[in-house]
Amino acid sequence: MPQISQKGQNMPQSPIRKLVPFAEKAEKMGKSVLYLNIGQPDIRTPEVAIDAIRVMDRKTIEYSHSAGGANYRRSLAEYYRSCGIEVTPEEVMITTGGSEAIVFGFLSCFDPGDEVIIPEPFYANYNGFAKIAGINVVPVTATIDNGFALPPVADFEALINEKTKGIVICNPGNPTGYLYSKEELEQLRDIVKEHDLYLFADEVYREFCYDGAVPYSVMNLEGIEQNVILIDSVSKRYSMCGARIGAFISRNKEILATALKFAQARLSPPTLGQIASEGALKTPQSYFDEVISEYVQRRDILVKGLNEIPGVYCPNPKGAFYCVAKFPVDSTEKFCQWLLEEFEHDGKTVMMAPLAGFYASDNKGLQEARIAYVLEQDALRSAVECLKEALKVYPGRIQQEAGSAEQLA
């Protein structure tokens, strides 16, 4: 029997999906599992998107252009301009989800052995995309103590060497919900400019900013126009994760031409998803107003509820639909598994994503978990109640303040 590749062996499992078998077991035992572990919102897709599919008048579902349909690219460029991001349709390449955009970007910008710096905790699949490209992720650690603000410039500088080729950020952040300020982004700009790095920014949660916060796009940072690659997706914006439509955006013509070669090899992004996504561009503002209002209420219920549980700390996120909480437990890996295997309250339990898998450094985030507020408000109230009761009886509970418990782990 032939061997599996080293690359395949080293490819990480999704930490978000690792607990799935325990959740399935919990369901089989008759428990109702509140799934707060993944970013699949229960929000409805805008009707204009679904209608676009229903009324489509095609006899053949053909390939689109490898860079995406011309009409969709044009309309999408207009959408970006309406967000204050000046791009032409030629600077926008349609991809199969934001995932593919990142892979094409990594392959176009980096060679095996190159290093990219990513503030941790970060979206765990960046690890997988880096493995595909054969590049090394070098983490710079953010802390829950300041809500996961950008680490100090000196921390980045300390990591930069001749192998460093880029920095990757997600803004607003998954898993942190943190929204970088213009000042923080200008700090990044200065580092990128000084060392002539690529700056990848995953801005797929752009629409989800709260409390009057306004997102600032890396596309508007002056002086690094040729260094910036914007990663985008319709998945979260219109709650249509299954469309698998993203975008790769840059003002660097050479990078666009290179990414297009990777795009040509896979022929075309999904045609049906593009039709739905083009329809989605006509989504009325009222849809977003409603959705944002709903997310803010959910966040408030969750964050307030979590902070009221003795020993739990949860900074208030300004964006996306995740929060990270710190629990007074030995290990959230164990705690999350125990919640599914051993615990129930009123027939319910909670599934969260342990945060260790979102750090590239060892032994970080052992008491932290990501909670996606993708379920309705009553479910979130039940989840908080569950967690409160669970912490009363969890055998790995640590008595002292969460703040000082990290060292024990």
- State which of positions 270-309 bind a copy of itself (CB under 8 A): 270-273, 276
Question: 159: Cβ–Cβ under 8 A, 6 or more apart, which residues?
Answer: 117, 138, 140
Cβ closest to a copy of itself, residue 276 vs residue 390: 276
Separation CA 199–CA 156 (nearest Å) = 13
Q: With CB under 8 A as the contact rule, which of the stretches 200-208, 259-267, 320-328, 365-373 interacts with a copy of itself?
A: 259-267
Cβ closest to a copy of itself, residue 111 vs residue 145: 111
The one among 33, 91, 100, 326 contacting a copy of itself by CB under 8 A? 100
> Cis bond leading into 310, ω under 30°?
no
Q: Which of residues 27-46 bind a copy of itself (CB under 8 A)?
A: 40-45
Separation CA 242–CA 250 (nearest Å) = 25
Nearest to 311 by CA among 200, 237, 211, 391: 391
Q: Does 358 bind a copy of itself (CB under 8 A)?
A: no
| Residue 80 CB-half CA count within 13 A | 30
Q: With CB under 8 A as the contact rule, which of the stretches 10-18, 73-81, 326-334, 385-393 interacts with a copy of itself?
A: 10-18
The one among 244, 298, 318, 326 contacting a copy of itself by CB under 8 A? 244
Contact 94, 246 (CB under 8 A): yes
> Cis bond leading into 21, ω under 30°?
no
* Polymer length of the chain: 409
Pull the structure tokens for residue 13.
């499992």
The one among 132, 137, 160, 391 contacting a copy of itself by CB under 8 A? 132
Cβ closest to a copy of itself, residue 256 vs residue 303: 256
Q: Does 128 bind a copy of itself (CB under 8 A)?
A: yes
Q: Does 2 bind a copy of itself (CB under 8 A)?
A: yes
60 exposure class (CB count in 10 Å sphere: 0-12, 13-18, 19+):
exposed
Q: Tell the smallest beta-carbon distance from residue 117 to a copy of itself (Å).
A: 14
Q: Does 26 bind a copy of itself (CB under 8 A)?
A: no
Residue 137-166 contact track with a copy of itself, rule CB under 8 A, x = bound: ----------------------------xx
Cβ closest to a copy of itself, residue 19 vs residue 390: 19
Separation CA 153–CA 190 (nearest Å) = 9
Nearest to 356 by CA among 321, 391, 331: 331
| Pairing between β-strand 348-351 and β-strand 353-354 as defined by DSSP bridges | unpaired
Q: Tell the smallest beta-carbon distance from residue 363 to a copy of itself (Å).
A: 23
21 exposure class (CB count in 10 Å sphere: 0-12, 13-18, 19+):
exposed
Q: Which of residues 223-242 bind a copy of itself (CB under 8 A)?
A: 226-227, 239-242
| Pairing between β-strand 136-141 and β-strand 115-120 as defined by DSSP bridges | parallel
Q: With CB under 8 A as the contact rule, which of the stretches 84-92, 94-102, 144-152, 305-313 interacts with a copy of itself?
A: 94-102
Q: Tell the smallest beta-carbon distance from residue 96 to a copy of itself (Å).
A: 5
Q: Does 85 bind a copy of itself (CB under 8 A)?
A: no
Cβ closest to a copy of itself, residue 132 vs residue 159: 132
Q: Tell the smallest beta-carbon distance from residue 253 to a copy of itself (Å).
A: 10
Separation CA 307–CA 284 (nearest Å) = 35
3-state secondary structure of 17: coil
Q: Does 75 bind a copy of itself (CB under 8 A)?
A: no
3-class DSSP string for 109-128: HCCCCCEEEEEECCCCHHHH
Q: Tell the smallest beta-carbon distance from residue 370 to a copy of itself (Å).
A: 16
Q: Tell the smallest beta-carbon distance from residue 267 to a copy of itself (Å).
A: 6
Separation CA 86–CA 354 (nearest Å) = 38
Contact 360, 127 (CB under 8 A): yes
Q: Tell the smallest beta-carbon distance from residue 33 to a copy of itself (Å).
A: 16
Q: Does 97 bind a copy of itself (CB under 8 A)?
A: yes
Q: Tell the smallest beta-carbon distance from residue 120 to a copy of itself (Å).
A: 17
